[in-house]
Structure 1
Amino acid sequence: MKTERILAELFADDPERFEPPTWSRRGALKGASLAAIGAAFGAAMPFSSRMPRGLLPAALAQASGDVPVLRMDGKAPLILLGERPLVAETPETMLDDDVTPADKMFVRNNGQIPERFAADPKTWRFRLDGEVNMPLDLTLGELESRFELVTLRLQMECGGNGRSAFVPETRGNQWNNGAISNCEWTGVRLRDVIRAAGPKEGARFTGHFGADPHLSGATDRAAISRGMPAVKAMEEHTLIATRMNGQPIPQLHGYPLRLVVPGWPGSLSQKWLTRITLLAEPHRGQGMGGTSYRLPVRPIVPGSQNDGATFADMASMPVRSVLTNLAHGTRVPANTRRIDLRGHAWAGDEEVRAVHVSLDFGATWHEMAVSPPPNRYSWQRWSGAVDLPSDGYFELWHRATDAKGRMQPHAAANWNPQGYGANAIGRAAILVG
């Protein structure tokens, strides 16, 4: 299928018919009327009668200007969300690979990027201490020679992925759905290292430390230092990684040593890893407590202030899907009556049970084929096709359902001040003809 032009270009070409309203990334109209929408789409929206009342066409969620792009050696042109710290999102159509290439992996930093370790990477030192009988101080080379090396495809996702869907807007980088990767990681199991240190009975939590300087440059403050329950640390897929996609980990992504804690917020996967400590109580490092990577146990009023005292730490990430072979805003040739679709879906600790696609604003849904993961915590390929009744404006809605029956909601749920856990259904606008 030949892809032609995006909808924004059509608005620019024909201002008499397409009188463009002003819109934001979350699709909220600014100073435009519903009449403008009708002029643009009304006669060419075959399923307009099924659009839920009050819902705006997804095409209006396209940014109406230049999107900042990351320009960096070794990285694809990602969407630049911030420079201090460096944050960049992967467009969904760049997530089509079963194994995410290093250049397409999203970027999320909390502090400064440390200078590259200039010595032999095998001399990088790592320490495991705290509630253990025999603290370990090992080089990277000793880790690799002493413990079994494993290679797994593992999802890594920012806790704020999908944040831009929250209304009202929350704090933090306004991610769409591209703060996700599924790389092939090689390393040693964290549990093997913990067992070698002889954990004490009171070792119930971890604390993680890295070499990245605080954004301010302060030497007495960590850029980020999070921790997790020991049960997750002892899970066999939690790795101390030394290689990514068969190569040394890129500097931007934690060279030469990092944690990989799949299925849980990516902030736990400490980059430039130097130390893990075992604790009897939850870690109190930077990025712990309050509203940081924590969710309301009971719903709170959207937009309200809250100190997070009654919140709980994020654990397994929610079910989510991306459409990877067709970009939001694509125009396809006239008389196209069938479109092949494919993408990926994942669900934190769980497997994905089903993916469905709707053409008529959620009135009916078509089930797609979902492939099993090559190993636990890898995302899963979904694919299928939909038939189009005519030319016109359509929205491809896609939603995934996990093994426990939890599916992506129509709107971002459980609003929280820092915008974690938003996993609303995906909506991609296309114009046929």
Structure 2
Amino acid sequence: MKYFARAITPNEAFFVRYHVFPIPLEVDLATWRLRITGRVERPLELTLDDLRTKFPRVAVTAVNQCSGNSRGRFTPRVLGGQWGDGAMGNAEWAGARLRDILTAAGVRQGAVQATFDGLDKPSFPSVPDFVKSLDVTRIMDDPDVLVAYEMNGKPLPMLNGYPARLVVPGWYATYWVKHLSDIEVIDHVFEKFWMKPAYRIPDNACGCVAPGTAPARTVPINRMTVRSFIGSPEGGSRVPTGRPVTMKGIAFDGGHGIQEVQVSVDGGTTWQAANLGADLGRYSFREWTFSWTPARPGRARVVVRAFNAIGESQGRQPLWNPAGYLRNVIEHVDLVVG
């Protein structure tokens, strides 16, 4: 968790997740094009240089978190990659606004969604290609949805989507298609495999059901929940008695912005406000620090919770769904004092 005591995650420490194999290991920019087709007046084929020179460069600092981050902590266990808490990161993404690109193509009347496909292609015809979709209204109303070509001031790393990837701030990483190559504007709701039945949550306010049960109805996963973590000291560490210990961590949500972080050094009985770091934007990790002087030796459980601008927070008990998504329980570390 050492990388989550700071707001910006280094490129080399960013998590990597693919759905189909083989994955691209090189891209020839002489032949790569971003194609915009479908219900548009002017189909486009854009080079990387076109993205850089024909559209305003826009930057947004945003968390990219796998939908199944922390799935390995679900009880009862669920199928899927058994992530701990590391399938997330925060970076400054820079590129062209997706709505500017669609405006250049001229979205035609009757357009409903746009689909997004990348260079990663399945080896066998029985494996569905990884294609995602967004509502056209969602794209045109949000100036922060980008086709990004930079990550923390450098070209996108290959394993994080070079030469261009979709960035959908506030929404889970399943929508952040890497190695983006094709955008198609369509006149219907796209419901192929990676939109339905995959990446669905229960159709209710909490996105949850009773453990071990199945939801009656589902919807595509979308906005991230509130989360906060203790990055330092790490669980199991020994801290001194009677001397200040600086605790550090991060908090984030789906785009309302973190307003407060609270820490409890007695397992959640009493709470105190942490100091918040610089505000890098409503989609970003928000650093926090808290100074604690342990009074006596023994074991201590330190817990953290965050509140966003509309009062959403984390629960004491984890919510459950059969896909292992949306975890936002109050997190803790156990320390040894003395």
Fold agreement, TM-score > 0.5: yes
What does residue 136 of structure 1 align with? 44
In the alignment, is the contact (CA less than 8 A) between 1:207 and 1:285 conserved in 2? no
What does residue 275 of structure 2 align with? 369
Q: 1:118 to 1:267 in 2, by over 3 A?
A: closer
Pick one of 75, 93, 114 that aligns with 1:167: 75
How does 1:325-364 map onto structure 2 within 5 Å? Answer: 325-333=232-240, 335-364=241-270
1:226 pairs with 2:132: yes
1:303 pairs with 2:209: no
Residue 222 of structure 1 and its aligned partner are, at CA, apart by 4.2
In the alignment, is the contact (CA less than 8 A) between 2:98 and 2:146 conserved in 1? yes
How does 1:12-51 map onto structure 2 within 5 Å? Answer: none
Mapped to 2, the partners of 1:112 and 1:291 lie a distance apart of 17
Q: 1:251 to 1:222 in 2, by over 3 A?
A: farther
What does residue 403 of structure 1 align with? 309
Pick one of 324, 328, 335 that aligns with 1:423: 328
Moved more, 218-227 or 398-407: 218-227
Pick one of 257, 281, 285 that aligns with 1:379: 285
1:179 pairs with 2:84: no
In the alignment, is the contact (CA less than 8 A) between 2:34 and 2:47 conserved in 1? yes
What does residue 236 of structure 1 align with? 143
What does residue 7 of structure 2 align with? 98
What does residue 196 of structure 1 align with? 104
Pick one of 27, 34, 57 that aligns with 1:149: 57
Residue 291 of structure 1 and its aligned partner are, at CA, apart by 5.1
- Deviations 1:246-299, CA, capped at 9 Å, x for gaps: 222111111111111111010100011111112232222331113524334275
Q: What TM-score results when the alignment is normalised by the length of structure 1?
A: 0.73
Q: 1:124 to 1:256 in 2, by over 3 A?
A: same
Residue 372 of structure 1 and its aligned partner are, at CA, apart by 4.9
Mapped to 1, the partners of 2:159 and 2:40 lie a distance apart of 32
Structure 2: runs of 5 or more not aligned: none
Q: Which has the larger radius of gyration?
A: 1
Residue-pair matches, total: 335
- Deviations 1:38-85, CA, capped at 9 Å, x for gaps: xxxxxxxxxxxxxxxxxxxxxxxxxxxxxxxxxxxxxxxxxxxxxxxx
Q: 1:372 to 1:204 in 2, by over 3 A?
A: farther
Q: 1:385 to 1:231 in 2, by over 3 A?
A: farther
Mapped to 2, the partners of 1:310 and 1:114 lie a distance apart of 33
Q: 1:395 to 1:252 in 2, by over 3 A?
A: same
Pick one of 154, 173, 198 that aligns with 1:266: 173
Higher relative contact order (CA 8 A, sep 6+): 2
Q: What TM-score results when the alignment is normalised by the length of structure 2?
A: 0.92
Residue 113 of structure 1 and its aligned partner are, at CA, apart by 4.4
What does residue 195 of structure 2 align with? 288
Residue 198 of structure 1 and its aligned partner are, at CA, apart by 1.3
Q: How many percent identity over aligned positions?
A: 33
Q: 1:210 to 1:221 in 2, by over 3 A?
A: farther
In the alignment, is the contact (CA less than 8 A) between 1:224 and 1:285 conserved in 2? no
RMSD: 2.0
In the alignment, is the contact (CA less than 8 A) between 1:392 and 1:432 conserved in 2? yes
- Deviations 1:99-141, CA, capped at 9 Å, x for gaps: 211111011111224343353x364201112222222121121
Counterpart residue type for residue 93 of structure 1:
K
Pick one of 321, 337, 343 that aligns with 2:228: 321
- Deviations 1:325-377, CA, capped at 9 Å, x for gaps: 211111123x2443211211111121011111111121111111223522331
